[in-house]
Amino acid sequence: MAMRNARALAAASLLLALAGAARAAERYGLGRPATDAEIAAWDIDIDRDGRKLPPGSGSVAQGRTVFEAQCAACHGARGEGGVGDPLVGGQGSLASAKPLKTVGSFWPYAPTLFDYIRRAMPMNAPESLSADEVYAVSAYILNLNGLVPDEAVLDARALAAVRMPNRDGFVPDPRPDVR
C-alpha cells in the first residue's frame, strides 16, 4: 500500500515536472511576426562600433549650415551651450574641480553621436534630419572639438573610425563602495 502510494506520488511528481517544463517552453501564440522591412523601418539603434550606420555622408562645411539652422539656437553658435548642453570643449577637465562634460571631452564613441542626433534632435523636430544631414552635423560637432579636420567628410566608415579622447574613461560599477 505504502509502496503503491509512493509510486503514484513519483508518477504524479513526474507529470507535474513535465507540465512545468512544457509551461516554461510554452508560447501563447499572441501577436504576429515582424517582417524584415518593418524591423528595418523602426530599428534605428547604432551600436558603439557603428556597424549599423546607414548609407550617406556629410562634410564639416555642410554640417555648419545644418548646425546654424537647426542646433545653434539651443547649443550656441559654436556649440558652447545655452538652453541645450555644451557640445564643445572641456578636454582635460574631467579630473579637475570643474569637469566640463561635452561630446569632445566625455563621449566615448563617435557613432553614438549619429544615433542620438537622429533619434532625438533637434528637440522640436526629432527624426526630421536626413542621414546626410546627421553625418554632416556630426562632422561639424567633431570638428569644433578638434577631432576631425576642416575638410572631413564623414560616412559610416569614417565616423566609426573617429577615436574619441575619453573612450577608455568608463569603469564598471564597484558598489557597494561606502561602508
Binding-residue pattern over the window 60 to 99 for another protein, x denoting contact by CB under 8 A? ----------------------xx----------xxx--x
> Nearer to another protein by C-beta: 55 or 170?
170
- In the complex, what is the shortest distance from the CB of residue 8 to another protein, in angstroms, rounded to a whole number? 30
> Nearer to another protein by C-beta: 59 or 89?
89
Report if residue 174 touches another protein, rule: CB under 8 A.
Answer: yes
112: its cell numbers: 553614438
Which 42-61 residues touch another protein, going by CB under 8 A?
A: 42-45, 47-48
- In the complex, what is the shortest distance from the CB of residue 85 to another protein, in angstroms, rounded to a whole number? 8
How far is the C-alpha of 21 from the C-alpha of 123, rounded, in Å? 48
> Nearer to another protein by C-beta: 36 or 151?
36
Contact assessment for residue 46 and residue 134, using Cβ atoms and an 8 Å cutoff: no
For residue 176, whether the previous peptide bond is cis, meaning omega lies within 30 degrees of 0, is yes
H-helix or E-strand containing 4?
helix 2-25
Contact assessment for residue 114 and residue 135, using Cβ atoms and an 8 Å cutoff: yes
Residue 50 Rama label (left phi>0; alpha psi -120 to 50; beta): left
Report if residue 150 touches another protein, rule: CB under 8 A.
Answer: no
> Nearer to another protein by C-beta: 59 or 79?
79
How far is the C-alpha of 170 from the C-alpha of 163, rounded, in Å? 15
How far is the C-alpha of 3 from the C-alpha of 84, rounded, in Å? 77
Indicate the DSSP class of residue 59.
E
Beta bridge partners of residue 154, listed in sequence order: 58
> Nearer to another protein by C-beta: 34 or 69?
34
Which 25-44 residues touch another protein, going by CB under 8 A?
A: 25, 27-28, 30-34, 38-39, 42-44
Q: Which residues bind another protein (CB under 8 A)?
A: 24-25, 27-28, 30-34, 38-39, 42-45, 47-48, 82-83, 94-96, 99, 101, 103, 106-109, 112, 115-116, 119-120, 123, 126-127, 169-178
